[in-house]
């Protein structure tokens, strides 16, 4: 995808030229932006010109090579160990070839990050739910805004001609994909592996070419393209239209068409069985051999001009309709009411994308291919994994997850930090035998426990914490002399006792702020018996100079510019704590 973008950008510069090195293009000048229509200006830089600084020079092919050289590739289920502290493991998200969810495991907890996922059956490996089980935290990153059944296909058709839009009948595979979430999480491997939206796109294209019109599908080298090519070949054959030419025009066309037969481990079992039977993994490979499907690097290719005929079905870059061969083809067919433009990308502003090409007579069909979990599927995943905490986008918690039985929910929004509460109060640490022999516990009154001062190194390796003899110590005799006079302070600070201790040390101008309640997370977090509020108090000392003491259950923070005053306050705090 990056190489394709670089090649198309180079063609764009060849035609239109480039700005001087180190200078912003003229259309990014504030004076020029003010003259643009509001919809165009907002798409370039956002409101109040806030996005003006986001524009940068595009990378080149050398940058891509350097970038990919730093990528460490993993197979599904393969663990990567990060400095002995974290283990990172990918699992199939069911969305496309190599598309992954990620489990990040540390010493105390594991976090599962769920990216764009698909739980209905398709050509790639199914959504791997068991790989997420046991995770304490689920983080959902990409979720459908609307809750739509997977058995229905939303069609948004824009027509400005007397010719009616394509009808999406369900002669083949109209009911593919279960609408039941529980069934979708463990898809039936015997069912067809074609997504309903993919079948609908191909059905619309076939009906258009039967009427004598050509079809343009702006796309990029995403794995979904292989599914579209495969299903298109099947549906053309079903109506005896295999002589209709299909073309894929992109700088990455040849590589993408060859790519499909090199990735068997990422595909569903039915596709893998074809490999062992000596058959192509995708059916479009036969069309390539018979030259009914051809790939071309550019629209002006001499080879393409020699074999061009209409009606035809064209897959062309770029889906944004701002560069690449798709722009020229849309200009060619935009006044032909028999032709069809199919937009398959999600979250497109169709009005904005088509604005430069109006007026339009071509049929426009918006059929975004599902690439995200629905709110119902999110609830099902939460109920099956049973995490201690789930983080979801803010819009979902407000509108969609009110009925979920899980009450450990946090919402997040872009640019805001979310404070995640601790669910464990203890950390399991292994102590080496050598260190254990050096420990001399003493009883702690009034409790019935024993404690000892300890000087050791804390190690973390492969997610396991351990205490080892301090590296600077050479013998047990060297371990404690420096600690003999040290007193370990513990307990909670009593504000009343602290005020008395401060007055005993000559500090009288003291003001105590009211106890505040600080939320952990945000206002939407409910955890049953889990305590959400942390009691805090702030003691302000106004003379001889200003200082503050922030008191929390597990810590105290002293802020003072005068070092002598800071030491005096620290002594007062120490006097109201227990010592060991």
Q: Residues 385, 389, 395, 401: what is their CA dihedral angle, to the nearest 10 degrees? A: 50
Q: Locate tokens 């595909």: which residue?
A: 267
Q: Is 479 exposed, middle or buried (0-12, 13-18, 19+ CB in 10 A)?
A: buried
What is the pLDDT, as a whole number, of residue 300?
A: 86
Cα separation, 26 vs 15, whole angstroms: 17
Q: Which pLDDT score, from 0 to 100, does residue 428 have? A: 82
What integer pLDDT is reported at residue 223 of this predicted model? 67
Question: Whole-angstrom Cα distance, residue 71 to residue 73?
Answer: 6
Beta strands in 330-407 (DSSP E): 340-343, 363-366, 389-393
Query: What pLDDT score does 68 carry?
Result: 94
Distance CA 469, CA 431 (A): 9
- CB within 8 A of 455, min separation 6: which ones? 470, 473, 479, 480, 482, 483
Q: What angle do CA 327, 329, 331 make, to 5 degrees?
A: 70
Q: Using CB atoms within 10 A of its CB, is residue 52 exposed (0-12), middle (13-18) or buried (19+)?
A: middle
Residue 142 has a pLDDT of: 82
- Please tell me the predicted confidence (pLDDT) of residue 343: 93
Of the candidates 109, 112, 83, 103, the one whose C-alpha atom is nearest the C-alpha of residue 460 is 83
DSSP state of 218: E
127: number of CA atoms within 13 Å, CB side?
27
- Residues 572, 501: contact at Cβ < 8 Å? yes
pLDDT at site 335: 94
Residue 9 φ/ψ, nearest 5 degrees:
-65, -35
CA dihedral 418, 420, 421, 425 (to 10 degrees): -150
Distances from the Cα of 533 to the Cα of 59, 417, 525, 536, angstroms: 48, 18, 11, 9
Q: Quick check: 408 and 388 in contact, CB under 8 A?
A: yes
Calculated CA dihedral for residues 353, 357, 363, 364, nearest 10 degrees: 0
Q: What is the pLDDT of residue 443?
A: 83
**Neighbouring residues of 189: CB distance < 8 A, sequence distance ≥ 6:** 121, 126, 268, 269, 270
* Buried-state track 384-400, b at ≥16 Cβ within 10 A, e below 16: ebebbbbbbbeebbeeb
What does the alpha-carbon distance between residue 363 and residue 348 come to, in Å, rounded to a whole number? Answer: 17
pLDDT of residue 214: 95
Per the CB < 8 A criterion, the answer to whether 538 and 512 are in contact is: yes
For the CA atoms of 334, 340, 344, 346, the dihedral, rounded to the nearest 10 degrees, stands at 60
pLDDT in tens, the chain (580 residues): 899 899 888 888 887 777 666 567 777 888 888 888 887 788 788 766 667 767 888 899 999 999 999 999 999 999 998 887 889 999 999 888 888 999 999 877 889 999 988 888 778 888 999 999 989 899 998 887 754 433 344 444 443 333 344 443 333 333 333 333 333 333 333 335 677 888 899 999 999 999 999 999 998 777 678 888 888 988 998 999 888 999 999 888 888 888 777 788 888 888 888 888 888 888 888 888 888 889 998 888 889 999 999 999 999 988 889 888 999 999 999 999 999 999 988 778 888 889 889 999 999 998 887 778 888 888 889 989 989 899 988 887 765 565 455 558 888 888 788 888 776 667 788 999 999 998 888 887 777 888 888 888 988 776 678 899 887 544 444 444 444 455 777 788 888 899 999 999 988 888 888 654 444 333 333 333 333 344 678 899 988 888 989 888 778 889 988 888 999 999 999 999 887 6
Helix (H) or strand (E) holding 87: strand 86-92
State the Cα–Cα distance between residues 476 and 481, nearest whole angstrom: 10
Residue 196 CA from chain centroid, whole number: 24
């Amino acid at each position: 995808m990056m190489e394709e973008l670089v090649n198309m950008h180079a063609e764009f510069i060849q035609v239109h030229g480039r700005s001087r090195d180190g200078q912003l293009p003229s259309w990014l000048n504030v004076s020029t932006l003010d003259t643009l229509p509001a919809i165009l200006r907002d798409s370039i830089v956002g409101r109040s010109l806030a996005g003006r600084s986001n524009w940068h020079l595009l990378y080149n092919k050398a940058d891509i090579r350097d970038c990919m050289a730093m990528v460490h590739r993993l197979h599904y289920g393969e663990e990567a160990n990060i400095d002995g502290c974290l283990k990172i493991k990918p699992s199939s998200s069911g969305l496309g070839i190599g598309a992954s969810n990620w489990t990040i495991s540390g010493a105390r907890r594991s976090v599962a990050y769920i990216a764009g996922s698909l739980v209905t059956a398709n050509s790639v490996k199914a959504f791997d739910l068991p790989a997420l089980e046991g995770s304490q935290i689920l983080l959902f990153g990409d979720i459908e805004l609307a809750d739509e059944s997977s058995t229905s296909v939303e069609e948004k058709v824009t027509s400005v001609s007397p010719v009616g839009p394509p009808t999406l009948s369900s002669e083949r595979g109209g009911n593919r994909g279960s609408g039941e979430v529980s069934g979708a999480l463990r898809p039936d491997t015997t069912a067809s592996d074609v997504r309903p939206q993919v079948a609908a796109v191909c059905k619309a294209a076939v009906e258009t070419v039967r009427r004598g019109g050509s079809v343009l599908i702006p796309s990029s080298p995403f794995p979904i393209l292989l599914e579209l090519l495969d299903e298109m070949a099947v549906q053309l054959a079903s109506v005896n239209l295999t002589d209709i030419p299909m073309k894929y025009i992109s700088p990455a066309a040849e590589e993408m068409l060859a790519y499909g037969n090199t990735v068997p481990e990422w595909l569903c079992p039915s596709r893998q069985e074809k490999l062992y039977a000596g058959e192509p993994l995708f059916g479009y490979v036969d069309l390539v051999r018979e030259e009914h499907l051809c790939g071309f690097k550019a629209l002006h290719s001499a080879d393409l001009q020699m074999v061009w005929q209409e009606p035809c079905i064209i897959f062309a870059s770029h889906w944004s309709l701002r560069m690449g061969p798709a722009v020229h083809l849309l200009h060619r067919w935009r006044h032909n009411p028999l032709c069809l433009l199919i937009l398959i990308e999600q979250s497109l502003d169709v009005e904005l994308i088509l604005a430069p090409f109006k007026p339009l007579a071509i049929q426009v069909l918006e059929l975004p291919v599902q690439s995200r979990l629905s709110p119902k599927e999110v609830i099902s995943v939460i109920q099956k994994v049973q995490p201690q905490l789930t983080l979801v986008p803010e819009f979902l918690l407000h509108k969609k997850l009110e009925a979920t039985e899980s009450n450990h929910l946090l919402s997040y929004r872009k640019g805001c930090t979310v404070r995640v509460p601790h669910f464990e109060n203890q950390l399991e640490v292994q102590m080496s035998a050598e260190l254990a022999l050096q420990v001399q516990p003493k009883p702690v009154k009034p409790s019935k426990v024993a404690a000892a001062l300890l000087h050791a190194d804390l190690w973390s390796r492969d997610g396991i914490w351990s205490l080892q003899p301090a590296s600077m110590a050479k013998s047990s005799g060297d371990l404690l002399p420096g600690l003999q006079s040290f007193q370990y302070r513990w307990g909670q600070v009593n504000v009343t006792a602290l005020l008395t201790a401060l007055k005993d040390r000559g500090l009288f101008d003291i003001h105590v702020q009211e106890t505040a309640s600080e939320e952990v997370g945000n206002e939407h977090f409910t955890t049953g018996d889990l305590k959400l509020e942390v009691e805090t108090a702030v003691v302000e000392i106004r003379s001889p100079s200003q200082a503050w003491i922030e008191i929390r259950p597990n810590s105290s923070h002293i802020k003072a510019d005068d070092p002598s005053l800071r030491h005096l306050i620290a002594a007062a705090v120490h006097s109201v704590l227990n010592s060991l």
